[in-house]
Amino acid sequence: MSTAGRTVAVINQKGGVGKTTTTVNLGAGLAALGCRTCLIDLDPQAHLSLHLGIRPAADDPTVYDLLLDQDLPAQEVAVRIEPNLDLVPAETDLAAVETELATAPDRHTRLAHTLANSNMWDAVLIDCPPSLGTLTLNALSAASEVFVPMQAHFLALQGVGKLLETIGLVCGSVNPSLQVSGIVLCMHETQTTLAREVVQDLSDFLESARSQDVPWRDCRVLTPAIRRNIKLAEAPSFGQSIHAYDPTSRGAEDYLALAQDVLTMWDQGFSDASQQADVSESPAEVTPKSVD
């Protein structure tokens, strides 16, 4: 699998759009398909950690320690959730990092430095806070690519357009090779006219970027859209991914198919947008790797 080195920042500056749900369930889907995956909780709300039932004790290392101690390896902080799936947890003290690193010249590249020294995982997914501060800049400098979860709502596209422009500016200074490679439609209402219109506008917007020198020129809407499914909202209370909580639910079905689509995209690379369109119509079979 040519996923080695894939580090994905899962970003949207809007809260409640499905970032954490996507990080957990796409990540667990990738793991189920044989991809050694690490999830990093970079949101001081620690929803990703809570979703997976992890509440670090006072002396357990967390992502906070990783950011402050550049000699600490990521694998020493990571918690094994299930075969192929690790979590670098957070707790609310993560909010203090912003001030503690305020005068450090390398404050935006600390996570990048840590992950550059780690080759444990095929894919690393970083759940970002709904803001563009030090933590998100660390995610953007560590990432090779960005996934943007969004809901197809009125004005959502405007928000995504602004987010992409901001990412473009950040790329220029922090991480010039960063690419925005996928949009994930979350809590999707396939039946509504509004959702269909927003998706059409989004596709037009992405098409218009194909010939431009912007980090989202190869971005596509990942498939399938994730339908609204109550099981996805229930799973965090049980500290489980949707695949563990209810593998037969529509939520599990959607996120597993999304994981397949992502693996197919990664095997293909980003260079040919027309091939990617074909892929979205018929995702190739992915053969699960055996778990050592």
Q: Which of 54, 87, 150, 186 binds ligand ADP (CB under 6 A)?
A: 186
Binding Mg ion (rule: CB under 5 A), the pick from 20, 25, 37, 134 is 20
Alpha helices (runs of H) in the chain, residue ranges in sequence order: 19-32, 47-51, 63-68, 74-77, 97-100, 110-116, 134-142, 156-174, 193-208, 230-234, 242-245, 250-268, 273-281
Q: Which of residues 221-260 bind Mg ion (CB under 5 A)?
A: none
Q: Does 229 bind ligand ADP (CB under 6 A)?
A: yes
Q: Is 9 left (phi over 0), alpha (psi -120 to 50) or beta?
A: beta
The encoded tokens of residue 271 equal 């260079």
Task: Compute the least distance from the CB of residue 12 to Mg ion, in Å.
Answer: 9
Give which of ligand ADP, Mg ion, none residue 175 binds (C-beta under 5 to 8 Å, depending on kind): none
DSSP-derived secondary structure for 8-49: EEE--SSTTSSHHHHHHHHHHHHHHTT--EEEEE--TT-HHH
Nearer to ligand ADP, 7 or 20 (CB): 20
Q: Which of 184, 232, 258, 265 binds ligand ADP (CB under 6 A)?
A: 232
Binding to ligand ADP by residue 47, rule CB under 6 A? yes
Single out the segment in contact with ligand ADP by CB under 6 A; choices: 17-25, 69-77, 108-116, 278-286. Answer: 17-25
Q: Among 15-23, 218-226, 233-241, 268-276, which window interacts with Mg ion (CB under 5 A)?
A: 15-23
Can you tell me the distance from the alpha carbon of 110 to that of 98, in angstroms, rounded to the nearest whole number? 12
Per CB under 6 A, which region of 19-27, 89-97, 133-141, 261-269 contacts ligand ADP? 19-27
Q: Of these, 28, 94, 226, 265, which contacts ligand ADP (CB under 6 A)?
A: 226
Q: Is 107 in the site for ligand ADP (CB under 6 A)?
A: no
233 part of the interface to ligand ADP, by CB under 6 A? yes
- Is residue 146 involved in binding ligand ADP (CB under 6 A)? no
Encode 65-96: b = buried (16+ Cβ within 10 Å), e = exposed.
Answer: ebbeeeeeebeebbbebeebbbbbbbbeebbe
Q: From the list 28, 34, 37, 47, which residue makes contact with Mg ion (rule: CB under 5 A)?
A: 47
Question: What is the rounded CA–CA span in Å between residue 43 and residue 37?
Answer: 18
Q: Does 18 bind ligand ADP (CB under 6 A)?
A: yes
Q: Which is nearer to ligand ADP, 101 or 222 (CB)?
A: 222
**How far apart are alpha carbons 48 and 172 in whole angstroms?**
29
Angle among Cα 104, 44, 156 to the nearest 5 degrees reads: 105
The dihedral built from the CA positions of residue 24, 121, 123 and 42, taken in this order, carries a sign that is positive
In this chain, which stretch among 76-84, 173-181, 213-221, 228-236 interacts with ligand ADP, using CB under 6 A?
Answer: 228-236
Residue among 77 and 187 whose Cβ is closer to ligand ADP: 187
224-239 burial: b if 16+ Cβ within 10 Å, else e? bbbbebeebeebbeeb
**For the chain, what is the radius of gyration of the CA atoms?**
18
Single out the segment in contact with ligand ADP by CB under 6 A; choices: 85-93, 171-179, 225-233, 284-292. Answer: 225-233
Binding positions for Mg ion, rule: CB under 5 A: 19-20, 47
Binding positions for ligand ADP, rule: CB under 6 A: 15-21, 47, 186-187, 226, 228-229, 232-233, 236
